[in-house]
Amino acid sequence: MKLLLENWRKYIKQEVEKFLPHGTVHDVKMIGSSKLSSEEQEQQDIDKYGYIQSYRDIDVEVQISDITSEEAEEWAFSDASQKLEDEDNYDVQLRIVDNWREFLNEEEELYHGTSDLYKQDILENGIQAPSYWGTAEIAAYYAKEVAEEYGGKPLIIKIPLSEFDQSLLEPDHNSIAEPLTHILGKSDEDVGEEWEEVPEPGTWRDSLDIVESVIYNATVKVLEKDLQ
């Protein structure tokens, strides 16, 4: 079970590809409340239901191309999809993204995790270089870590990728060397093998795809609307 939990993205990708072998899976990620920390999920339960649920489905979105909407619907009602939900607690939804790179450019955002102790300084001076950016899950982890170590509450900053100078983005080699396996759903070996397959020296996009983290080498201007 531990291996399954560490490799949940790879596991779900394999199950979808078995059902739709001609499809191309681009990304597998948690969505909705499943992206929240356990503390945030419990608070959401209290706000919504008045008590903490003992059981939750894990909502997952698989971004896939080269399939039809009819095939996506077939997946939704398939035995394979039901098995993932019944046996593994994964509610897996397919999202068709045929123009993948256009989809990334239009919708992708990068996230940075910190403590609200630094909120005013960030709003006045921006986030100084070099800074670490990645997915919402990675940012939430680091926001919690910073808040626990230095005080305050976790603060997440969300900036559209289009606002970054992509020539100043680079791979996060620290995360490649010591990946957050419990968040990535991959083992150290998986990450190492994926990075070895990347043509040298590797790009920021490769780093974001594999370990969900990159480094940005310029100051990032932050507005109130960017705070989560």
With the C-alpha atoms ordered 211, 216, 219, 221, is the resulting torsion angle positive or negative? Answer: negative
Residues 81 and 114 placed together within one structural domain of the fold: no
- The burial class, CB within 10 Å (0-12 / 13-18 / 19+), for 74 is middle
Residues 96 and 124 placed together within one structural domain of the fold: no
Residues 129 and 61 placed together within one structural domain of the fold: no
Residues 139 and 79 placed together within one structural domain of the fold: no
pLDDT at position 106: 52
Residues 155 and 67 placed together within one structural domain of the fold: no
Structural tokens at position 90: 């994964």
Residues 6 and 22 placed together within one structural domain of the fold: yes
Q: Could you tell me the residue range of the domain that residue 97 belongs to?
A: 2-103
Identify the band that residue 76 occupies on the pLDDT scale cut at 50, 70 and 90.
very high
Residues 135 and 211 placed together within one structural domain of the fold: yes
Residues 31 and 139 placed together within one structural domain of the fold: no
Q: Please tell me the least confidently modeled range out of 86-100, 117-131, 137-151.
A: 86-100
The residue among 103, 122, 148 that closes a domain is 103
Compute the average pLDDT of residues 2-23: 78
What size, in residues, is the chain? 228
- For the stretch 205-226, pLDDT in tens is 899 989 999 999 999 999 999 9
pLDDT at position 2: 36
Of 21, 65, 62, 32, which is closest to residue 185 (Cα–Cα)? 62
Residue 133: alpha-carbon gap to chain centroid: 11
Residues 38 and 146 placed together within one structural domain of the fold: no
Residues 116 and 66 placed together within one structural domain of the fold: no
85 membership: H or E segment, kind and range: helix 79-88
Residues 87 and 116 placed together within one structural domain of the fold: no
Whole-number Å distance between alpha carbons of 92 and 32? 12
